[in-house]
Amino acid sequence: MEMGCLVQVIILGSGSPLPDPHRAGPSTLVRTAAGDLLFDCGRGVLMRAAAVASGAGAFKALFLTHLHSDHITDLNDIFTMRWAMSFQPNPLPVFGPVGTAALLRATEAMLEPDIGYRLAHHDDLRWRPSSTVTEVERGLILDEGGVRVTASPTDHAPVRPTVGFRIDEGEQSVVVAGDTVPCAALDELCVGADVLIHTVVRRDLIEEIGLPRLTDVLDYHSSVADAAQTAARAGVGTLVLTHLVPPPAPGTEQEWIDQAAAHFDGSVVLATDLLALDVNQGP
């Protein structure tokens, strides 16, 4: 992205742990003057990134909201492809909650056979894959090229710790909430943001289905109404609903928007894969 361009949000994956042929796993790309910032890396992230001319080697940094499997499924793919497709050492910068450093060590250990195969086969590949990990909880974590990224704790208990992120460039601001129930720290992070990207579940549909494994998720995810109320309290401009559980049936998309609009008078967008929004301009 060239200097002076608008911040752009691209939903790479709008899905959830439930496999969906139309929705990749949760992942959001925020294009800034400092480069492409990737938030979470669910299944299929590099396939979706390829569709918008980005990829593992192009990511300025990877930010993990938490270590639930659906948000980190393709970490190994990013780690491997950044290494194998670079022509000089290119460590992957990763920011995430406490536990992220151990996750990266475990990922590298899991890939040890593959690393050995590639080092043995490619004469011009003389270095191992690597990452630089910064474990974060609260406060400014990146300040570069006029782009500031701030972290704040969220509430996805018993998953602990979890964080949300705010990206500010000039007068433009985006918040990536991750999985969370409403909480004061998230409200503070969101104040005045142009765009809030919030994971949501449909409480009414999940209760109707009635399966315990599904109803269990209700106590640690925000409903559509919860996310809308968070956006309203914080004075957000646009609310993007993503990580949709259960996946919207064709023809029911407006129901999700209407549920949010009952609590929030800003713009509401239901995410689809590769949805792109220019901040301050909308989709």
Structure-block tokens of residue 2: 């060239």
| CA separation for the pair 48, 271 (Å, rounded) | 14
Does residue 123 have an active-site annotation?
Answer: no
Q: Which structure tokens are listed for 178?
A: 């991750």
Give the CA angle between residues 186, 8, 28 to the nearest 5°: 55
54: its two tokens: 């980005």
Q: Which of 95, 109, 38 is nearest to 66 (CA)?
A: 95
Angle subtended by helix axes 75-84 and 100-110, to nearest 10: 60
What tokens appear for 276 in the block?
Answer: 């792109």
Residue 48 is classified by DSSP as: H
Measured CA distances, 56 to 48, 78, 94, 216, 262 (Å): 11, 5, 12, 34, 39
Cβ contact 44:31 at 8 Å: no
Catalytic hit among 20, 36, 40, 70: 70
Residues annotated as part of the active site: 70
